[in-house]
Structure 1
Amino acid sequence: MRLLHTMLRVGDLQKSIDFYTQVLGMKLLRQNDYPAGEFTLAFLGYGNEDENTVLELTYNWGVESYDLGAGYGHIAIEVPDVYKTTEAVKAAGGKVIREAGPMNAGTTIIAFIEDPDGYQIEFIGENHIRN
């Protein structure tokens, strides 16, 4: 078994694709419209779907926003330098909701940003200790 993708519902597909490609450096791997179901799927990631877990953005035609609820946490992305990556997101117009620094119960360097739909994304330094 392997984890294939995580799906997020988005209100403006192109705005979300632009964020994940231009701000976070992912590649748009494929995009398909499904007229019978009135939705579009876009798959993005840092590598091909055969070898990597990717992100699926689902746009339900005519739906501009969603209630994220209390159950959703975040997506985590490993980065070489959390401080530099956070500054690059700010420079690209992204929203930082927790500046880079040590996590509150340890020494791992993290930061949090939000995508255009309010989904949280955590940056974790690539030298963190995995438990």
Structure 2
Amino acid sequence: MDLAHVAICVSDLERALEFYGELGFEETHRFTLDGVENVYVGKPGSDGDLQLRYDPARTTPVAPSRADTDHVAFTVEDVEATFENALAAGAAPVLEPTEIESADAYAAFVEDPEGYTLEFYRGL
């Protein structure tokens, strides 16, 4: 079994596409179902996608909570460069690049423009 995609709700589809585009993601496909726009973005050569769901009729704010979804993790070649690129694209820092020995990883965390926490990591 392989993970196909993770879906997150966004309040501004164009802002989300711009942010993830700055991180190297490309649109793989899209569709609209019951008025909700679903846009999939992925990295070239990767099997998994991130699904951005935008409902223009939504009446409640998108409110990501680390109590419910702690973070979405991405493997990267260069943690520092990805962290800096994310900050330049509009992310807020959560944890600067650091070694996490217990996880055998080197990782950094940012908050995307919607408030989702993203982890960029590589193994030690």
Q: TM-score range by the shorter chain?
A: 0.7 to 0.9
- Matches of 2:77 and 2:101 in 1, distance apart? 20
Aligned to 2:27: 28
Equivalent residue, structure 2, for 1:85: 82
* Residue 68 (str. 1) matches residue 64 (str. 2): yes
Structure 1 runs of 4+ off > 4 angstroms?
A: 104-107
Structure 1, gaps ≥5 residues long: none
RMSD: 2.1
- 1:52 corresponds to which residue? 47
Indicate conservation of the 8 Å contact 1:42/1:56, yes or no: yes
Q: Deviations over 1:22-46 (max 9, x none)?
A: 2x11001122233xx1210000001
The amino acid of 1:15's aligned partner reads R
Q: Of the two, which has the highest radius of gyration? A: 1
Partners of 1:110 and 1:123 within 8 A in 2: yes
Deviations 1:3-37 (A, max 9, x none): 21110011111111111112x11001122233xx1
Could you list the per-position Cα deviations for residues 70-126 of structure 1 after superposition, in whole angstroms to 9, with x for gaps in the alignment? Answer: 21011111111212221222233332211111127465211001111101110102x
TM-score, structure 1 as length reference: 0.80
SS at match of 1:19: helix
Q: Which amino acid aligns with 2:64?
A: L
Contact 2:19/2:90, CA 8 A, preserved across alignment = no
Aligned equivalents of 1:53, 1:91: Cα separation in 2: 24
SS at match of 1:20: helix
CA distance in 2, matches of 1:118, 1:104: 27
Give the match's secondary structure for 1:7.
Answer: strand
Query: What is the aligned-residue identity percentage?
Result: 29
Q: Name the CA distance, whole Å, in 2 between partners of 1:40 and 1:106.
A: 36
Between the aligned partners of 1:82 and 1:111, the Cα distance in structure 2 is 7
- Equivalent residues of 1:10, 1:65 under 8 A apart: no
The count of residues paired between Structure 1 and Structure 2 equals: 122
